[in-house]
Structure 1
């Protein structure tokens, strides 16, 4: 794997790990009540989405091994460009339901080299 592709995967993995750390032991009520936590979570999703978008420009075969990669990029775009209408419940749902699979897939891609 070329170095730039590995770097994007590492960036995704690192942001995913931070997301998991940020929300560990937290509830929806904690998330809703904490503006700093919400901002931190959104920022890591922005990083993930941007890294996947850059990866898609460089290696379509690799990025297609990430399920729903187009949705991840679209989610990043909503967070960046539609920031005034971000649905906190949707962000929380993505953390809870989609982040674990993404982290697993990225780990597998990094291990496969």
Structure 2
């Protein structure tokens, strides 16, 4: 049985939380010098993007505050252009997009759970 919409939302939340946790106190230079870290963040972004694509339209349209399209687009670029990942762009996304979208996804999950259960 495929994951439920709530499970896709939880995957997004979990990966955003992972990125937040492991990017705390990390500089751009450290990010570049530890390939395992950048690869882990890329993997998390791929999971987030894929999960975004699987969240039903109804939920996405009701929660336009979350950057569904941005994360899905990032996933596509990471999957199809893996040889040319722009580390600076990835770092900027981690620094600017992850925290606010983590807050939004927490609220979305809370609202969706309230509506469904």
Correspondence 1:20 to 2:20: yes
Unaligned runs of 5+ in 1: none
Unaligned runs of 5+ in 2: none
Match of 1:70 in 2: 69
Correspondence 1:53 to 2:53: yes
Distance 1:9 1:105 in 2: 11
Shift of 1:73: 0.5
Say which is worse superposed, 66-75 or 81-90, in terms of deviation: 66-75
TM-score (norm. length: structure 2) = 0.87
Match of 1:10 in 2: 10
Structure 1: 4+ residue segments shifted above 6 A: none
Q: Secondary structure at the match of 1:26?
A: coil
TM-score (norm. length: structure 1) = 0.90
User: Over the residues paired in the alignment, what is the CA RMSD in angstroms?
Assistant: 1.2
How many residues end up aligned between the 2 structures? 108
Distance 1:68 1:24 in 2: 22
